[in-house]
Structure 1
Amino acid sequence: MGKLGGEMKALAKHCGGSHKTVNDCIHIVQRFDHHLLALNVHIQRVAQIKVRHIESYIHERLAQGIGKRTLQNEMASLRAVLQQAGRKQVAEHEWLTNKSLGLAGASRSGTRQAITPEHYHHVLETARMKDPGLAAALELARLMGLRSQEAVQSVQWIWGMGTGVGGMWRRCMGKFDSWLRASSGWSRLPPFTVSERLGGGGKYQAALPSPLQSKPESDRTNVEINERTCPE
């Protein structure tokens, strides 16, 4: 990564949003930096970015078959980085609007559908036979609304030692119907129970509950758990 990529990455970290949003923004500016290097455009600072550089990047992405909605998001990230660097004039240039770049008209209607309970249970049973760890990650993702990466990494939050997020889950599981911090924000935690300790290595097996049943709001405990509110 050159000086331009390093500067844009630093700016992307200050653009706000969730951890995933920031991470996506970093990947976008790095891809933009690689595009310029491939064209033998060796600029060193964000202050040197021209409108034509961004136009060239978007045109290449369109030629690669990238969807308009995806490129609208990429342009939003590039504009945010330019704004962060004080390049408002470039970020809001009339040639860099979605319409001028050929990105207008994309549908914002969602097309993804949740899998059916039957399909989920079929996949879960298959995973249990092949890899219990994968099955546990699927259950965590399903019950707690975690991303796949968060479900895989959750072992450090559940059984982690010390203060902060690590150890917080272990102390709070089964005690509150509440929100717990994951890598990309807050997630509601269903009650967990530790069913047994496995032999060797201090490993535990968590008994995952069925999804929380609906109950009156007055019966819910809607607090954000942290080190001060979570009892030992």
Structure 2
Amino acid sequence: MKDLNFDLLSITRHSGEGSYSTQATRARGLQQLADELHGLGYKLKAARNLAPKHVDALVASWKANGIADATIRNRLGWVRWWAEKVNKPGMVPADNVTYGLAMRQRYNGNKAQELTPQVLARVKDPRIEMALKLERLFGLRREEALKLRPVIADRGDRLMLQASWTKGGRYREIPIWHPRQRSLLDEARAMCGDGSLIGDGRNYKQAQDHYDNTLLKSGIRNAHGFRHAFAQWRYKTMTGWPCPAADGPTADRMTAEQRAADRRVRFQISHELGHGRLDVVDTYLGPVRPVKESRGA
């Protein structure tokens, strides 16, 4: 095994960030990057030797080989993780436009859906019902809702999500700011005891399959829409007006103060949803600029 491959393998094995699936995908991706750099003539002896010229060479190679922009963005995510682990977090720009990549066309209509009593009545499983409620009231992903251990996460005024529960291994905190959230967490603690919604005698994969099968039988096709509903609810309570996706004002109809508040709130919601970039929030809240204008940008 080449020096760089071995070093990256050691880093990934000791990181422990994210689910097993996330860790495995990242480890394979980093090994691929090491092989590509070697093929391009860069025989790095250690991961800490990563430099901007190496990233530029990788991106240029990917483009020359016709790799889609979406795939390049994903690979750059691995490079950013690598850079962070060798104490070079700012080396790879957060903005993919720097590398000449097309911006994601994220917004494709309002995907939010409300978790009504009628929807919950079709679920027939108290633990899956609780998972859906956590997605709706805290903006959790499926994996996060199932792995969450309320007795550990509930800190009174905030929900603390351990890295091993979250996508990409990103620790984060979500404020507990509404009585509905407090009440739900009390229910979750009573249901889970010292554990999680996965339950005793099952692993996460089995719990995930059960979750998916239960939703399929219940006729729920887009549980991620409950996470969208959380983001829009959060936006409205923090700004005082609905987001663009929910027919709220876009930038051309906001005052300067409202535009500043919109940006501040989007940053906060981005953090609470576990995203690293502000533009991702457009998927949930709608673009702050009118859609026609953003498409022409």
Higher strand share: 1
Higher RCO (C-alpha 8 Å, min separation 6)? 2
What TM-score, normalized by structure 1, do the two folds share? 0.46
Q: Which has a greater percent of helix?
A: 2
- The alignment's TM-score, normalised by the length of structure 2, stands at 0.37
- Based on CA coordinates, which of the two structures has the bigger radius of gyration? 1
